[in-house]
C-alpha cells in the first residue's frame, strides 16, 4: 500500500502553501503547525514532510523550532527540508528531531558534500530532492532552472547509494489538477529499487489510488488536505484498509 505523507510548509513559523513555488502566492492555513501535525497523527498518519520555506529562500535552516516542537510532541517520522546547505544545518535538523532530511539544491550545487552526508549519516536518512520542470532539475526553491536531465541526476545518485527520492513536478505543484503519474511510472520502471515519493498535483483520493495502482511507493499531499478536496477521514480509511 502506498504511504501517504502529508506536507507542512513553514513560513514565519506558520503552516502555509504556495502555488508552483511562488512566494507571492502564499496562503496561511494555520498559525500553529503542531495542531496540524497532531490532527495528522490522530488519523493514523505516521510520516510528515516538513519544509522550511524561509530556509529554502535563505540557504540555511530557519524554522528548526517548529521541527523541534512537532518532534517533541508527536511520534511522527519527520523528513525535513528547505535550505539545508551545511554540516551545521544538518546537525541542527537532526538534533531538532528530524528522522530524515531532504536535499535538492545542495545535491546539484555541491555533490561532494551531499555524497559525504550519505556516507556520514547513512542513505536511509538522506533523501534526494528531485524537483523537475520540463524533465530538467530545478533548484533554489524553484527559482533557478538547470540543464541537468532528471534521469541522469537520479542515475548518478543511485550509483552513490541514494535509496529514496522525493520527486516534485513543479508544473503540478499546488494546482490540484492531478499528479504526473506517467513521470513516476517511468522513474519506477528505470529505478525499481528506489523508494519513489510522488509530490505535486494530488487533488483527490482517486489520484492517490492511481499512484498506488502503478506501484509508486509514497505520495506527498498538502494543499488537497488544506483545501478539503481530500479529508483526513478518507486517508484514515485507506490506511486502515
Answer yes or no: 79 catalytic. no
List, in sequence order, every residue forming a beta bridge with 47; answer none if it has no partner: 77
How far out from the chain centre does Cα 194 lie?
Answer: 15
Answer yes or no: 131 catalytic. yes
Rg (CA), the chain: 16
Catalytic residue among 52, 54, 79, 131: 131
- pLDDT at res. 21: 75
- State the residue for C-alpha cell 483526513: 232
Cβ–Cβ under 8 Å, residues 46 and 76: yes
pTM to 2 decimal places: 0.94
Q: What is the pLDDT of residues 25-54, one digit of tens each?
A: 889 999 999 999 999 999 999 999 999 999
Cβ–Cβ under 8 Å, residues 64 and 94: no
Which domains are delineated in the chain?
3-240 (3.20.20.70)
Catalytic residue among 9, 54, 173, 207: 9
- pLDDT at res. 142: 57
3-state secondary structure 83-144: CCCCHHHHHHHHHCCCCEEEECHHHHHCHHHHHHHHHHHCHHHEEEEEEEECCEEEECCCCE
Ranges of the chain whose pLDDT falls below 70: 140-144, 174
Amino acid at each position: 500500500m502506498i504511504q501517504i505523507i502529508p506536507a507542512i510548509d513553514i513560513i514565519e513559523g506558520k503552516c502555509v502553501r504556495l502555488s508552483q513555488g511562488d512566494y507571492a502566492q502564499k496562503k496561511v492555513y494555520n498559525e500553529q503547525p503542531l495542531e496540524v501535525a497532531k490532527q495528522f497523527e490522530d488519523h493514523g498518519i505516521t510520516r510528515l514532510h516538513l519544509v522550511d520555506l524561509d530556509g529554502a529562500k535563505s540557504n540555511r535552516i530557519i524554522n528548526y523550532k517548529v521541527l523541534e516542537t512537532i518532534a517533541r510532541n508527536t511520534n511522527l517520522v519527520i523528513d525535513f527540508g528547505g535550505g539545508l546547505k551545511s554540516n551545521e544545518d544538518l546537525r541542527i535538523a537532526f538534533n531538532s528531531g528530524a528522522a530524515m532530511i531532504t536535499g535538492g539544491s545542495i545535491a546539484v550545487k555541491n555533490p561532494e558534500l551531499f555524497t559525504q552526508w550519505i556516507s556520514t549519516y547513512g542513505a536511509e536518512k538522506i533523501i534526494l530532492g528531485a524537483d523537475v520542470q520540463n524533465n530538467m532539475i530545478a533548484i533554489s526553491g524553484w527559482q533557478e532552472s538547470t540543464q541537468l536531465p532528471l534521469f541522469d541526476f537520479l542515475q548518478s545518485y543511485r550509483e552513490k547509494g541514494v535509496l529514496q527520492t522525493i520527486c516534485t513536478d513543479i508544473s503540478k505543484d499546488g494546482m490540484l489538477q492531478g499528479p504526473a503519474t506517467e513521470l513516476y511510472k517511468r522513474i519506477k520502471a528505470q529505478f525499481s529499487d528506489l523508494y519513489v515519493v510522488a509530490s505535486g498535483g494530488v487533488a483527490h483520493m482517486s489520484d492517490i489510488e492511481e499512484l498506488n495502482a502503478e506501484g509508486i511507493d509514497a505520495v506527498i499531499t498538502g494543499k488537497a488536505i488544506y483545501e478539503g478536496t481530500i479529508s483526513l477521514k478518507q486517508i484514515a480509511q485507506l490506511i486502515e484498509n
